[in-house]
Amino acid sequence: MTIIHTVAGLRAHLEDVRGHSIGFVPTMGALHEGHLSLLRAARAENDVVVLSIFVNPAQFDDPSDLAAYPRTIEHDVELARSVGVDVVFAPDVDEVYPDGFATSVSVRGLVAETLEGARRGAGHFDGVATVVTKLLMAVLPRVAYFGAKDAQQVAVVRRLVVDLGIPVRIAVCPTSRDDDGLARSSRNTRLSPEERDRALSIPRALAAVETAVAAGETDAAALRSRATDILGEGGTAPEYVAFVDPLTFVPAPVLERPVLMAIAARVGAIRLIDNTVLTPGGR
């Protein structure tokens, strides 16, 4: 496994394998089982696997959140080695945003401006879109892998790849969950045992709505109220429970086709997100 810190070094290294399929997993490090599932998928489907580790300051709206973000590069490198990563690309901030950097990739419309875009500020998805574009241009992979837990990030990346004509396939891997159903996230380590218990109301709310949809309920307001009750009873404070088109994020008041149900909720000081795709009538 090779560790590379510069774009020039990465390009030179990948020059030799250009005829082969490259699978790419972009991360901000603090790797957990969720990231490893993306890396395993990339390993199974490609000749060469590239992992990037870069805590992207441009996508943090809160400087204290950026400062508190876990940085565990040595452990990450060990985990990367254990799942057969070929190249770890770990640039410094100056390498990604050199002096004079003045360009931003900005996806507009509901897909980037609603839900997470509205809560975290317009800069969040601009930061994600800019860094993902830069990373894709540096790696030029055949496939890039993202987790379904960040459904809105996936939709923003899909949009920019189509709009900018970047020749890459975006692969979305299922949300990785602990045995109790909680979606894996680097934030989970900050939950106390009691908070973790409360957080379980999030997967419970998703499951209850899946059951209601399987029983024929298609009214988003009724489903939202069911989910909000479960979250409240469980001791989490919902920020939103939304039913939207998975690609455009246009709200879906009635479930007539597959709809993304997205939840953001606070458990104490920790903000968690999770989602599921609901298919009315099993269609």
Task: List the catalytic residues.
Answer: 35
C-alpha distances out from residue 139 to 5, 9, 22, 252, Å:
13, 11, 8, 36
Site membership for ligand PAF, residue 170 (CB under 6 A): no
| Distance (Å, whole) CA 123 – CA 60 | 8
CB of 26 or CB of 91, closer to ligand PAF: 26
Direct distance between the N- and C-terminal alpha carbons of the chain, in angstroms, rounded to an integer: 44
Is the Cβ–Cβ distance between 271 and 195 less than 8 Å? no
Three-state SS sequence of 90-105: CCCHHHHCCCCCCCCC
Q: Of residues 37, 46, 56, 175, which one binds ligand PAF by CB under 6 A?
A: 56
Does position 183 bind ligand PAF by CB under 6 A? no
Residue 26 is a binding residue for ligand PAF (CB under 6 A)? yes
Question: What is the three-class DSSP state of 198?
Answer: helix
Stretch that binds ligand PAF, among 21-29, 61-69, 99-107, 118-126 (CB under 6 A): 21-29
| Element containing residue 133 per DSSP (H, E) | helix 122-139
| 95 in contact with ligand PAF (CB under 6 A) | no
Q: 259 - beta bridge partners? A: 278
Is 154 a residue that touches ligand PAF (CB under 6 A)?
A: no
Pairing state between β 87-89 and 143-147: unpaired
Helices (H), 22-121: 33-45, 63-68, 73-82, 93-96, 110-113, 116-120
Nearer to ligand PAF, 135 or 231 (CB): 135
Residue among 95, 126, 150, 274 that touches ligand PAF (CB under 6 A): 150
Q: Does 28 bind ligand PAF (CB under 6 A)?
A: yes
**Using the rule CB under 6 A, which residue among 77, 115, 131, 182 binds ligand PAF?**
131
Complex with ligand PAF: residue 112 or 213, whichever CB lies closer = 112
CB of 150 to ligand PAF, least distance (A): 5
Dihedral sign of CA atoms 282, 147, 245, 161 in order: negative
Contact 4, 77 (CB under 8 A): no
DSSP 246: T
CB of residue 53 to ligand PAF, shortest distance in Å:
9
> Per CB under 6 A, which region of 12-20, 26-34, 169-177, 194-202 contacts ligand PAF?
26-34
Cβ-contact 192, 268 below 8 angstroms: yes
* 132 scored as a contact of ligand PAF (CB under 6 A): yes
Instruction: Check residue 27 for interaction with ligand PAF (CB under 6 A).
Output: yes
Place of tokens 């024929």: 216
Stretch that binds ligand PAF, among 24-32, 104-112, 202-210, 252-260 (CB under 6 A): 24-32
Q: Is 126 in the site for ligand PAF (CB under 6 A)?
A: no
User: In the complex, what is the shortest distance from the CB of residue 114 to ligand PAF, in angstroms, rounded to a whole number?
Assistant: 17
Residue 262 in contact with residue 280, Cβ under 8 Å? no
Name the residue nearer to ligand PAF (CB basis): 59 or 275. Answer: 59
Q: How far is the CB of 55 from ligand PAF (least distance, A)?
A: 8
The secondary element (H helix, E strand) that includes residue 146 is strand 143-147
Binding site for ligand PAF (CB under 6 A): 26-28, 56, 59, 128, 131-132, 150, 153
